[in-house]
Amino acid sequence: MKNFSNHIVYHSATLKDGMIAINKITDEILCLFILDDMQRLIGSLTDGDIRRALILGVLLTDAIDCAMKKDFIFVKFNDVTPNQIKNYRAKNIKLLPCIDDNGKIIKVFNLVARQSVLPIDAVLMAGGKGLRLRPLTETTPKPLLKVGDRAIIDYNVERLIKFGVENIHVNINYLAEQIESHFADEKDGIKIACVREPKFLGTIGSVKFITNFHNDLVLVMNSDLFTNIDFEEFYLNHIEQNSDMSVATIPYSISVPFGIIELKDQIICGLREKPTYTYYANGGV
């Protein structure tokens, strides 16, 4: 949440001012953050806090800090981790302020709309010609073909944003101007960067043209797939395994309807009756 101004009030406000501010909130998470004169975060206030204060005899004309929580939950900008976010979501924290070293709010994480905050960049490969879908792709790039009321690529962008990915690059070539136009405006407050490859370089070849990665870890994926992959789980597994690279795969089984002879140097050493072999295909993530 980049625009959180409707959740901000100053400590000089009255309790009535706080009630008015909460009444104006339109995103249904009824929580305010209280700032001092130096714009530092000093407390939080919910509609429940106001009700409890009124029951205890606090007046609407009293200062808002009479009802605010001083032991509010927050994260430091340079220290926030996916595990932190996971724990706060489990505790039903809905709005989580992120502050700098001076105590000023940099951003607010909406943990209802966001499932995680992953410190990664994402690259969506969107430069292919989509030959297998001709004639649909003769005038429209495959990532912009609609399924339902949205383009295929939008499902992937929205899912990345849901997991808190804020640095998203789209590599383009075929009918590139259409994709650039599609992402001319921000998506949910996130600017999508389109990067043209000078010629067709094949699978992920154009990644080398991205020069402004913001994170050490980069997620590369196809733009024209549908996936319900849990990006947080994928990320945490990658970290726990201390991997150089992780690949999402799809099991693909082949059943052979015959007895298979196992040979070693032309000598029969076994027989497998109608075996099933399982391979792991690249899932494009």
Strand order in the sheet with 95-99: 75-76, 95-99, 105-110
% residues pLDDT > 70 (the chain) = 99
Same-domain status, 81 and 124: no
For residues 82 and 31, the answer to whether their CB atoms sit within 8 Å is no
40 inside domain: yes
Q: Domain of residue 45: give its range.
A: 5-110
Instruction: Compute the distance between CA of residue 99 and CA of residue 166 in angstroms, rounded to an integer.
Output: 17
- Please state, in angstroms and as integers, the Cα–Cα distance from residue 164 to each residue in 26, 115, 239, 282, following that order: 21, 7, 17, 24
4-61 pLDDT per residue, tens: 888 888 988 999 999 898 888 876 788 899 999 999 999 999 888 899 999 999 888 9
Same-domain status, 235 and 125: yes
115 inside domain: no
Instruction: Compute the distance between CA of residue 46 and CA of residue 30 in angstroms, rounded to an integer.
Output: 6
Select from 73, 21, 71, 28 the least CA-distant residue to 50: 21
pLDDT given for residue 165 in this prediction: 92
106 inside domain: yes
Average pLDDT over residues 129-153: 89
Residue 155: φ, ψ to 5°? -60, -40
Average pLDDT over residues 62-87: 85
3-state helix, strand, coil in the chain (%, to 5): 25, 30, 45
Tell me the pTM: 0.79
165-218 pLDDT per residue, tens: 989 999 988 898 999 999 998 888 889 999 888 887 777 778 878 888 899 999
CATH of the domain at 142: 3.90.550.10
Decide if pLDDT at 2 tops 70: no
245 inside domain: no
Same-domain status, 201 and 277: no
Residues in the chain: 285
To which residue do tokens 């000093």 refer?
Answer: 42
The pair of structure tokens assigned to 200 is 């067709």
Instruction: Compute the distance between CA of residue 235 and CA of residue 217 in angstroms, rounded to an integer.
Output: 9
Report the domain count for the chain: 3
Average pLDDT across the chain, whole number: 89
